[in-house]
Structure 1
């Protein structure tokens, strides 16, 4: 006997259940965000490993704060991406914590950060979009 309940999608409800429009948009946004985090992870690791750098590594030339932000992103982003793809609440929490740490590190020591500061600004916009989508999804479930 087969059960429609899938423990991986426990936060999304029973398998095959139709989601309301705003909740579906939140799920699609989280999955797109997971893809963005994976691309960002690849960028972080190429920076750490010195891919395309030649004799001198750009990573070694970064400030300690920038190096910390890159290492934090390289380790935490793929884990958060998995949780976001699954639609799990722990993935969202981990992504929000990771984004907050990167924003604080980049804002407190902007010297030598360069493109990482732009990524922090993008993260801020992504958090704002997530807040808007979850607000609309919550309002939808109230109705």
Structure 2
């Protein structure tokens, strides 16, 4: 079993503010992804009352999307939380599925502008941080 000091030693004490920002950003996105995964699971198990909120009552297109996202969002959340390189890839897959659902097929899934904006904000923030890391490493190499 890890001692408390060993557990917290995973994040170096000499981490730069940029690295800490990166870690916090990924963990916030992980928390949101876990919440979205739980919402999809709530939809699948029929915990929430309402039309089409139970798997057996859903149209096929919602069944496919709900099952995929109920599995992928928690998987993305675990990768993001662990700061693994595959975490953002799985999150991007989830975001692409939801963007495809709400933007590509609004007659089937509805149009949820808030979800589209949230995914765009996260993607822009991710790309911005990656560009800053790239420029920093390039500057350090010179």
Tell me the TM-score range normalised by the shorter chain: 0.7 to 0.9
Structure 2: 5+ residue stretches without partners: 1-5
Cα deviation code 1:19-54 (max 9, x no counterpart): 222222111100000000111111111122222316
| Alignment partner, residue 51 of structure 1 | 47
| Alignment partner, residue 94 of structure 1 | 90
Cα deviation code 1:61-94 (max 9, x no counterpart): 6554344332221100111111101111011111
Which residue among 2, 22, 26 is the counterpart of 1:26? 22
Shift of 1:114: 3.3
Q: Which structure is higher in RCO with an 8 Å CA cutoff and minimum separation 6? A: 1
Is residue 105 of structure 1 aligned with residue 101 of structure 2? yes
* Root mean square deviation, CA, Å: 2.6
Q: How many residues align?
A: 130
Structure 1: 5+ residue stretches without partners: 1-5, 7-13
Q: TM-score, normalised by structure 1?
A: 0.74
Shift of 1:116: 5.3
